[in-house]
């Protein structure tokens, strides 16, 4: 059940995000408001589950982390919280200068995420259920890994999923069959996955620990899959076809 729950949450949230990103810009505010409501519910779920050492508490904490993460994703992708320079990279810019300009496109977003990590750590400092914190940390670190890989060069950019307001980011990335950082990110991710897998297997009759570790291991495995799709010769379009419907004229008009 934890594997099915994590898979369903990952797929459904991604499809909804891709679908809403393809809607007209006038609908973005509605999406942000809806996501904010869900995020507030997520904060409540994290607070209520902080001392709940049951399977239900694990699911509640996991949902709370996903809900808060979803708000950060929407606020950035839809252009509400980005950075001091959300503009294309000037032609000819290379190396560290290009990296600095890339950071400036999303600096406020990254600071907001880091602030959330700190706030969540403070909230759960003496909690017995810290699944929400570690779930959010996995999402945060794996997103940083994906962004750095994309900056250094990947085979598949998946730019067809990006909202129109982020089209300028294409000027910061290049297409490469492989980059030097990918093996490093892959190694650390696999170590983390094996660690979570060991915790899940060794939990024994502790259903809360087993459920929480399985939820996080599944999420990390899915993040690894997304990394693999950045370099794979095969396409993952079939997974997100439902979300791409809003790109059709009929879907956009209906929104």
| pLDDT beneath 70, residues of the chain | 235-236, 248-255
- Residue 82 pairs in a beta bridge with none
* Burial of 186: CB neighbours in 10 Å, binned 0-12, 13-18, 19+: middle
- pLDDT value of residue 140: 96
Nearest to 18 by CA among 78, 94, 97: 78
- pLDDT value of residue 158: 77
- pLDDT value of residue 253: 44
Q: Between vectors from CA 95 to CA 93 and to CA 99, what angle results, nearest 5°?
A: 85
Nearest to 244 by CA among 9, 21, 26: 21
11-21: per-residue pLDDT in tens?
999 999 988 88
- pLDDT value of residue 41: 96
- pLDDT value of residue 255: 45
Q: Where are the alpha helices (DSSP H) in the chain?
A: 2-21, 28-49, 55-77, 95-104, 107-123, 131-152, 182-202, 207-231, 249-254
d(Cα 65, Cα 127) in Å, to the nearest integer? 15
- Backbone Cα Rg of the chain: 19
d(Cα 195, Cα 13) in Å, to the nearest integer? 26
46-91: per-residue pLDDT in tens?
999 999 999 999 999 999 999 999 999 999 999 899 999 999 999 9
- pLDDT value of residue 236: 67
The answer to whether residues 74 and 17 touch, using CB atoms and an 8 Å cutoff, is yes
Reported pTM: 0.92
């Amino acid at each position: 059940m934890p594997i099915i729950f994590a898979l369903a949450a990952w797929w459904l949230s991604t499809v909804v995000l891709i679908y809403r990103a393809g809607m007209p810009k006038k609908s973005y505010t509605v999406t942000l408001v809806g996501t904010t409501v869900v995020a507030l519910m997520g904060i409540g779920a994290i607070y209520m589950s902080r001392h709940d050492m049951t399977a239900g508490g694990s699911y509640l904490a996991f949902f709370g982390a996903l809900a808060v993460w979803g708000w950060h994703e929407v606020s950035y992708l839809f252009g509400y919280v980005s950075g001091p320079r959300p503009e294309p990279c000037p032609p000819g810019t290379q190396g560290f200068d290009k990296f600095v300009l890339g950071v400036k496109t999303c600096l406020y977003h990254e600071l907001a995420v880091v602030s959330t990590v700190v706030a969540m750590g403070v909230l759960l400092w003496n909690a017995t259920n810290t699944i929400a914190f570690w779930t959010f940390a996995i999402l945060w670190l794996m997103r940083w890994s994906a962004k750095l890989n994309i900056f250094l060069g990947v085979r598949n950019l998946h730019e067809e999923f990006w909202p129109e307001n982020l089209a300028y980011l294409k000027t910061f990335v290049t297409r490469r069959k492989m980059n030097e950082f990918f093996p490093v990110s892959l190694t650390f991710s696999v170590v983390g996955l094996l660690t979570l897998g060991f915790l899940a297997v060794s939990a024994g009759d502790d259903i809360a620990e087993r459920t929480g570790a399985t939820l996080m291991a599944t999420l990390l495995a899915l993040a690894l899959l997304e990394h693999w799709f950045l370099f794979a010769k095969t396409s993952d379009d079939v997974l997100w076809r439902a979300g791409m419907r809003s790109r059709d004229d009929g879907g956009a008009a209906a929104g």
